[in-house]
Amino acid sequence: QVGNFVTMQINSLSLPGPAVVTGWSIIVTPPPGYLIADGRADCHPETRQVLADSTLEVCVFEPLDGFPERVTLGRLPESQRTRFEVPESRAFLRVILADTVGPSTMLRFTVLVNNALAAPAEALNAWSLVIQDGSGVPQYTNDRTLTGFPLYGTLTDDSFVRWRLNEYPGESNLVKVSIQLKSSLNGTEGLLVKVVAPPGF
């Protein structure tokens, strides 16, 4: 899946701990195989553009509760906006805070990611949230305790089920099932396709 919105939430900071001030960063690292979606590094909810197809530009980072953009409910000068950076590898997202965060402040934001081709191993399927000070030294971390979500594939509209012999109740029939996957499938040995008929068949 290319372009999946994931909402992250930090309920509060553990105490005692240092004050989180302007210029500190939140580093969001998804599980192995995921990538932060490609997009403009300067895209921001307040400055996003209307695209050629009349839709609104999708930002890689969307500040929600606890950020100055939502607290003030108004357009902010650029120097007071929350910024973000994505490295060329797209392995993580850096959110640069534009305001002090109190210990009881809840922070909630959305990150746009590209899902992994296959679900990571259970032990690795976790998201990392680290708050770094202005020198890049970690001050708070969740120790990768945010369990990732499961990944399920889906079929295209070209998939179908058709009968081959007759449509009479109680008679033997031959049913053709055709499936097409919307995304690639990295299976393992023993992978099965399970077909379940409607009740009564």
Tens digit of each residue's pLDDT (9 = 90 or more) over 11-62:
888 777 888 999 999 999 999 999 998 866 666 666 666 656 666 667 888 8
Largest CA distance in the chain: 75
According to the model, what pLDDT value does residue 135 have?
93
- pLDDT tens per residue across span 98-156: 888 888 888 999 999 998 887 788 778 889 999 999 999 999 988 877 788 777 667 77
Q: What is the pTM of this model?
A: 0.72
CA–chain centroid gap for 4, Å, is: 5
Using the predicted structure, report yes or no on whether residue 78 has a pLDDT greater than 80.
no
Q: Is the pLDDT of residue 187 over 60?
A: no
Query: In the predicted model, is pLDDT for residue 181 greater than 90?
Result: no
Instruction: Output the pLDDT for position 18.
Output: 86
The residue that leads in pLDDT, 182 or 114, is: 114
Q: What is the CA radius of gyration of the chain?
A: 23
What pLDDT was estimated at residue 44? 65
Is the predicted pLDDT of residue 84 greater than 80, yes or no?
A: yes
Over residues 70-80, the mean pLDDT reads: 68
Place of tokens 């992978």: 191
CA distances from 111 to 16, 36, 38, 84, 187 (A): 29, 8, 11, 11, 28
pLDDT at 56: 61
pLDDT of residue 73: 58
C-alpha distance from residue 4 to each of 59, 95, 113, 114, 121 (Å): 12, 18, 5, 6, 20
| Mean of pLDDT values over 178-195 | 71
The predicted pLDDT at position 45 comes to 62
CB neighbours of residue 174 within 10 Å: 9
